[in-house]
Amino acid sequence: KSSPLSDSTNLASSIAETDLFAHIKNLMWTTLPALVVSFIIFIVLGTGHVGASAAELHHLAGLLTPTWWTVVPLVLLVGMAWAKIPAIPTLLVNVGVTGAYFLLNHNMTTLADVLLNGFKTAAKNDMLQSLLNRGGMLAMMPTVIIIMLALALGGLLTEQKILQAVMMPLANRIKHGAGVITGTIVTGIAANFMIGEQYLATILPGQLWKQAFDRVGLSRLALGRSVEDSGTVVNYLVPWGVAGSFAAQTLGVPVHVFAPFVFFSLLSPVFSLLSAWTGIGIKKRDA
């Protein structure tokens, strides 16, 4: 939600036509409160519950032998992001450096197999295998298919102007900033449940409400934050959503079971609405 390399963060900033890092900075007004409250709730709920023992974790740590090289991609990633280098070049450079290092000890055939089928460790530890034996482009195909279907449905809804027909008259009638932000958040949540795809749930509200933000004198940064707080994070709460389906497949837990515990996704729209109606953290449009 707040990474300069995140697709949704770059998309929201682009739709709102704002500087990426100014957008990320402005996100903190709602992101940090939602994060802190979620953290506190998880501490309270986790008190008294016992997970993995210290012995198991020490045993797992003994199977891992990190070297100085493991820090290089992370430092490179953070450094390029700090230098405000765009996401795609940053990712390509990291993929290239990591791939080159991999080829020092493996051949191109092995690298191609890892890219296609994912990594497979030779370690016999079940926990380590469950952590590392994953990935690859083929493993992403179920999610890619859901994205394709969601985009197709979104294309139909966009072409038929269903959301526009419902929300545009409302957008044109609202005269104050808090109402415009509220409308954007409601549209983003509705788009998530109607389409199931977070990209379109970011694009459509941004396009629908952009002129309304200008009309009431709000900064486009407020628009970008509103679509992030609704279009991006709420998708994890949608059983037929791309993000929700991915999380369900990865965790082996149905969306309706884990959704009540996704506090960050539940709280982000709440803090966005609180910000809108109190005026805290809301930027006005420059004259």
**17-29 confidence digits (pLDDT tens):** 898 889 999 999 9
At residue 237, the pLDDT reads 93
Residue 9 clears pLDDT 60, i.e. is over it: yes
Q: Which two tokens stand for residue 201?
A: 């749930």
Length of the chain counted residue by residue: 287
Domain assignment present for residue 1? The answer is no
Domain assignment present for residue 236? The answer is yes
Check residues 28 and 161 and name the one with the higher pLDDT.
28
Helix (H, G, I), strand (E, B) or coil at 238: coil
Domain assignment present for residue 75? The answer is no
Give CA angle at 137 (131, 141), nearest 5°. Answer: 100
Residue 150 clears pLDDT 90, i.e. is over it: no
Domain assignment present for residue 83? The answer is no
- Phi/psi for 3 (5° steps) reads -85, 140
Domain assignment present for residue 61? The answer is no
Q: Which two tokens stand for residue 259?
A: 């959704």
Q: What is the mean pLDDT of residues 28-32?
A: 94
- Residues with Cβ within 8 Å of residue 7, at least 6 apart in sequence: 87, 199
Q: In total, how many domains does the chain have?
A: 1
Contact by Cβ (8 Å): 166, 172: no
Q: Which two tokens stand for residue 225?
A: 């934050």
- Residues with Cβ within 8 Å of residue 90, at least 6 apart in sequence: 5, 77, 80, 81
At residue 51, the pLDDT reads 66
Domain assignment present for residue 94? The answer is no
**By C-alpha distance, which of 17, 7, 2 is closest to 224?**
17
pTM tops 0.85, yes or no: no
At residue 121, the pLDDT reads 80
Distance in angstroms (rounded) separating the CA atoms of residues 283 and 287:
12
Domain assignment present for residue 268? The answer is yes
The dihedral over CA atoms of 225, 227, 232, 234, expressed in degrees to the nearest 10, equals 110
Distance in angstroms (rounded) separating the CA atoms of residues 211 and 282:
17
Domain assignment present for residue 150? The answer is yes
Each residue of 102-111: b (16+ CB within 10 Å) or e? eeeeeeeeee
Residue 129 clears pLDDT 90, i.e. is over it: no
- Residues with Cβ within 8 Å of residue 276, at least 6 apart in sequence: 177, 178, 181, 182, 226, 282
Contact by Cβ (8 Å): 202, 231: yes
Contact by Cβ (8 Å): 187, 205: yes
Q: What is the mean pLDDT of residues 108-126?
A: 84
Contact by Cβ (8 Å): 229, 268: yes
Domain interval for residue 183: 26-46+140-278
